Amino acid sequence: MGNTMIVGGRRVASDRIEELGEREIFVFGSNKQGMHGGGAAWVAHKKFGAEWGVGEGLTGRTYALPTMEGAASMKKAVEQFTDCARRHPELTFLVTAVGCGIAGYTPQEVAPLFRAAAGLENVYLPEMFWKEL
């Protein structure tokens, strides 16, 4: 299986991304300090060029989305991500289960934050988020 698939009209990102295709961006949960030491953040840093010390935005073939600073901060970060995806229709954004690992949120808490992003053709969400939307 590749990094993306269409299931019932939903754009689903794989839960296991080992490499990126042309113009694909790995979207991962980060912290504002950009300390990419574990989980998807470590993968983003080691494999896809996420810059150490950059906790939000596009770097390398990644988009860092801070999830460790509280729900209100994460909501704002998802809004900024959605604006970025809207401004870059030439890129395909593969969203991992941001916030649902080390940050400790549930898919029920995080998925609604991606409602606007879910409407963008270039954004692929994890199946667990689609189940909540």
Report the CATH number of the 4-13+21-130 domain.
3.40.220.10
Longest dimension (CA), the chain: 39
- The residue ranges of every structural domain in the chain are 4-13+21-130
Kindly tell me if the per-residue pLDDT of 1 is higher than 50. Answer: no
Rg of the chain in Å (alpha carbons): 13
Give residue-wise pLDDT tens across range 60-77. 999 999 999 999 999 999
Query: Which H or E run includes 127?
Result: helix 127-130
Q: How close are the terminal C-alpha atoms of the chain, in Å?
A: 24
Residue bearing the bigger pLDDT, 41 or 85: 85
Q: Give the global pTM.
A: 0.93
